[in-house]
């Protein structure tokens, strides 16, 4: 029972209790490069706290580097009830905990493999500098965040998804996934204590802060930390930085204790952690991906139809082939799947397709019954009816675990194994640890496993963007708005998107008559209420499509059903694409808008389809930059986005972009499904032992990056 447990106050050390800036009469903490300091006032406050609350330390430091902290704590009569070290991989006095964290991991063997990579590329990274100090994780020294990102990508196969990474200015930390400060606290001290207060500054403190009744941070803590704590009911972020901020948060803890502490009703709400923002989309990684994409070449090789036909015959038209396609859900991957099927079903007409989903909340409804999948496939696949979802009265498709799915059985009634696996994931978590290596390429052989490929849906979304169902087109024709000039706000995910779309619409009333808002999740009641309130503020009334009558002519229509978005673009003049200010959502695919020749305005985050955004935002035609308005326009400042949107929208409506640029772009990518088919079929036929059939697939964009530019020195300078 919580009422029988003792209160714990858990502190991080560096940049929380100690700071690099000197303070009057400060107490020095020696460092390898520079010293840090603790203030006497802060230590006096911790001493006061320790009389009513047991104090714990949770740090990334090793045992050998906290001795001076211990000395000052002792001098100020502060008893530390527990030391959680090395990001939660080590707990002083509990050696078995580290063995649990490292179960199945040989850190020294992994270090040796990484050293070979460092030597191969002559990287100025010291893998041994901290080896003697740290026993529960790997810490390397390398001067430069881009250099760190380059190394992490190179060693992704060695890490094999079993580590998380933290990148600093001079350090690269590779931490076992099982290591976590709060997990260590809960497992070892949780029977006797609960976290009343927690203070930290970096993403590795998030779980600890999330689990505290009161989470605190100084003003110079990381952006994500401050953003998260601000969203917590009992969170406190000091307006002061450094030593002043530390004193401020300690005084806040003392005040809370003096007021009587916490009641049984003060348990914190477990808010969702911004893990993706912290790891997958940290700023240094984003800059690194930008470098990769700038070096990516456009595929120019067009697969020979005779080659594809000969491959089809050699594979017996797919008679004994089972193509397994793995997808996250039934959302962003449906059009890439359609593009792939439209090419491969005619080539391998007797192959069977096994669709394996990792169902997310959006796709769950569509996965309740296999009939829903069949109906959707019939809507989006082109070609003769007998080439779609059935042949000889049997379903081409199955989906294991979905009700009414027929399964894939051989002539003996035994489930058939997949002949090839195509990973059609559009999310970094699903593709990790190969995301950086595969993201800029159309199709990538999965390292170390035969008959397994990453097929990048970003590319196939371009070639499959015109897959609009007839039913959707007919329903869209029946929708009549207040006028013919329409603005679209698609995949709206949060208040920022709602504000930009509604206020932006209000500012361009002289150019557009109506606004269509399409939320990302149409059944989210909180978001729908926010939309209604925002529309009220501009003097309009939001009408939901499900309530629309044939005689209605709304000025603002909210689409609360799926599948209509591509068809609705046909009446639009300009579109705002949501998610561009939300690193968790990573922006959304602009191809539906572009296919309808509607220019797009979005925020600075667009990893969901960098292929189309990176090309179209530069307005190129025949590889030459033009002075025309752009098909994709990026807003960078969230604070001024409402005004920026209006200015951009007016320019785009008054002078639409050059359609030749768009047509040229789509034409170059139109052969992508054939390129995938050629690679996969050649692999099935045994033609490919190493490398790729299509020339451009041989080239990793990352291999073209000049390593010297990553750390700004002559490569001959040594490591």
Rg (CA), the chain: 28
Six token digits for residue 658: 């050059």
Tell me the pLDDT band of 561, cut-offs 50, 70 and 90.
Answer: confident
SS3 content of the chain, % helix, strand, coil (to 5): 40, 20, 40
Tell me the pLDDT band of 413, cut-offs 50, 70 and 90.
Answer: low
> Which tens digits make up the pLDDT trace of 109-133?
999 999 999 999 889 999 999 999 9
- Residue 717: per-residue pLDDT: 37
Cβ-based neighbour number of residue 286 at 10 Å? 15
- C-alpha span between 302 and 671 (Å, rounded): 7
In the predicted model, what is the mean pLDDT of residues 279-304? 82
Six token digits for residue 408: 């894939």
Structural domains of the chain, with CATH = 2-94+179-270 (3.40.50.1000), 305-455+675-690 (no CATH), 470-657 (3.40.50.2000)
Q: What is the dihedral of CA 237, 239, 241, 247, to 10 degrees?
A: -70
- Residue 719: per-residue pLDDT: 34
Tell me the pLDDT band of 715, cut-offs 50, 70 and 90.
Answer: very low
- C-alpha span between 579 and 427 (Å, rounded): 14
- C-alpha span between 98 and 362 (Å, rounded): 39
Q: Are 583 and 276 in contact (CB under 8 A)?
A: yes
- Residue 537: per-residue pLDDT: 95
User: Inter-axis angle of helices 40-49 and 67-75, to 10 degrees?
Assistant: 70
Residue 714 has pLDDT above 50, yes or no: no
- Residue 411: per-residue pLDDT: 53
In the predicted model, what is the mean pLDDT of residues 63-82? 95
Residue 647: phi, psi to the nearest 5?
A: -60, -45
Q: H or E element: which one contains 217? A: strand 214-217
Higher-pLDDT residue of 664 and 243 is 243
Whole-number mean pLDDT of the chain? 87
Q: Are 484 and 571 in contact (CB under 8 A)?
A: yes
Least confident of 23-27, 145-149, 447-451: 447-451
In the predicted model, what is the mean pLDDT of residues 250-259? 94
> Among 149, 207, 153, 204, which Cα is nearest to 176's?
204
- C-alpha span between 203 and 217 (Å, rounded): 12
Higher-pLDDT residue of 48 and 625 is 48
Higher-pLDDT residue of 388 and 642 is 642
CB neighbour list of residue 102: distance below 8 Å, 6 or more residues apart: 89, 136, 176
Give me the residue label for tokens 């379903």.
Answer: 395
> Given the DSSP bridges, would you call strands 452-455 and 443-445 parallel, antiparallel or unpaired?
antiparallel
Least confident of 193-197, 467-471, 636-640, 710-714: 710-714
Residue 536 has pLDDT above 90, yes or no: yes
> Among 487, 512, 516, which Cα is nearest to 574's?
487
- Residue 470: per-residue pLDDT: 66
Give me the residue label for tokens 């869209």.
Answer: 476
- C-alpha span between 152 and 141 (Å, rounded): 13
Least confident of 25-39, 314-328, 423-437: 423-437
> Which tens digits make up the pLDDT trace of 230-253?
888 889 999 999 999 999 999 999
Tell me the pLDDT band of 718, cut-offs 50, 70 and 90.
Answer: very low
In the predicted model, what is the mean pLDDT of residues 514-528? 87
DSSP 8-state secondary structure symbol assigned to residue 520: S
What per-residue string of b and e applies to 440-470 under the rule 16 or more CB within 10 Å gives b?
A: bbbbbbbeeeeebbbbbbbbbbbbbbbbbbe
């Amino acid at each position: 029972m919580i009422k029988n447990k003792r209160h714990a106050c858990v502190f991080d050390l560096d940049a929380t209790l100690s700071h690099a800036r000197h303070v009057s009469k400060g107490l020095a903490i020696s460092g390898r490069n520079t010293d840090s300091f603790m203030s006497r006032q802060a230590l006096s406050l911790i001493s006061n706290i320790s009389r009513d609350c047991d104090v714990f330390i949770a740090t990334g430091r090793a045992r050998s580097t906290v001795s001076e902290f211990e000395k000052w704590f002792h001098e100020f009569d502060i008893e530390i009830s527990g030391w959680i070290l090395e990001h939660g991989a080590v707990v002083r006095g509990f050696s078995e905990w580290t063995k649990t964290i490292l179960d199945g991991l040989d850190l020294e063997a992994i270090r040796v493999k990484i050293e070979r990579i460092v030597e191969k590329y002559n990287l100025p990274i010291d893998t041994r500098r901290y080896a003697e100090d740290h026993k529960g994780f790997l810490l390397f020294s390398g001067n430069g965040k881009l250099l760190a990102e380059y190394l992490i990508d190179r060693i992704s196969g060695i890490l094999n998804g079993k580590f998380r990474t933290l990148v600093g200015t001079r350090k690269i930390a590779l931490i076992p996934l099982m290591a976590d400060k709060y997990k260590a606290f809960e497992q070892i001290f949780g029977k006797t204590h609960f976290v009343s207060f927690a203070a930290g500054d970096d993403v590795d403190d998030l779980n600890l802060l999330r689990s505290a009744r009161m989470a605190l941070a100084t003003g110079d803590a990381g952006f994500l930390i401050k953003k998260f704590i601000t969203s917590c009911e009992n969170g406190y972020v000091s307006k002061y930085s450094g030593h002043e901020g530390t004193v401020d948060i300690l005084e806040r803890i003392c005040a809370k204790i003096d007021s009587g502490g916490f009641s049984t009703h003060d348990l914190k709400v477990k808010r969702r952690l911004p893990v993706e923002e912290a790891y997958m989309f940290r700023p240094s990684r984003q800059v690194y991906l930008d470098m990769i994409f700038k070096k990516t070449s456009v595929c120019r090789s067009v697969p020979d139809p005779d080659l594809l036909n000969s491959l089809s015959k050699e594979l017996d038209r797919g008679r004994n082939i089972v193509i397994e396609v793995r997808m996250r859900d039934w959302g962003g991957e449906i059009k890439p799947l359609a593009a792939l099927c439209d090419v491969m079903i005619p080539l391998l007409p007797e192959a069977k397709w096994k669709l394996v989903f990792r169902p997310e909340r959006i796709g769950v409804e569509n996965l309740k019954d296999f009939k829903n999948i069949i109906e959707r496939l019939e809507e989006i696949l082109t070609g003769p009816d007998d080439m779609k979802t059935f042949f000889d009265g049997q379903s081409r498709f199955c989906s294991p675990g979905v009700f009414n799915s027929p399964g894939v059985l051989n002539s003996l009634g035994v489930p058939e194994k997949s002949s090839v696996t195509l990973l059609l994931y559009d999310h970094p978590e699903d593709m990790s640890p190969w995301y950086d290596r595969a993201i800029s390429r159309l199709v990538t052989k999965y390292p170390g496993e035969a008959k397994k490929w990453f097929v990048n849906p970003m590319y196939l979304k371009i070639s499959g963007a015109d897959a609009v169902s007839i039913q959707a087109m007919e329903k869209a024709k029946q929708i009549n708005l207040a006028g013919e000039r329409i603005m679209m706000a698609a995949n709206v995910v949060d208040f920022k998107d709602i504000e930009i779309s509604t206020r932006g619409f209000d500012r361009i009333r002289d150019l557009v008559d109506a606004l269509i808002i399409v939320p990302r999740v149409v059944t989210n009641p909180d978001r729908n209420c926010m939309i209604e309130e925002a529309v009220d503020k501009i003097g309009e009334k939001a009408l939901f499509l499900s309530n629309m009558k044939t005689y209605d002519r709304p000025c603002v229509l909210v689409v609360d059903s799926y599948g209509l978005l591509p068809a609705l673009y046909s009446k639009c003049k300009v579109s705002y694409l949501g998610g561009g200010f939300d690193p968790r959502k990573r922006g959304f695919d602009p191809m539906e808008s572009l296919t309808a020749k509607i220019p797009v305005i979005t925020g600075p985050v667009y990893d969901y389809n960098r292929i189309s955004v990176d090309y179209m935002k530069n307005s190129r035609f025949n590889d030459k930059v033009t002075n025309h308005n752009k098909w994709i326009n990026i807003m960078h400042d969230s604070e001024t986005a409402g005004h920026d949107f209006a200015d951009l929208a007016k320019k785009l409506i008054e002078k639409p972009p050059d359609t030749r640029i768009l047509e040229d772009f789509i034409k170059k990518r139109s052969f992508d499904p054939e390129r995938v088919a050629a690679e996969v079929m050649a692999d099935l036929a045994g033609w490919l032992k190493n490398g790729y059939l299509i020339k451009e697939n041989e080239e990793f964009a990352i291999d073209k990056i000049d390593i010297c530019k990553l750390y700004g020195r002559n490569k001959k300078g040594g490591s």
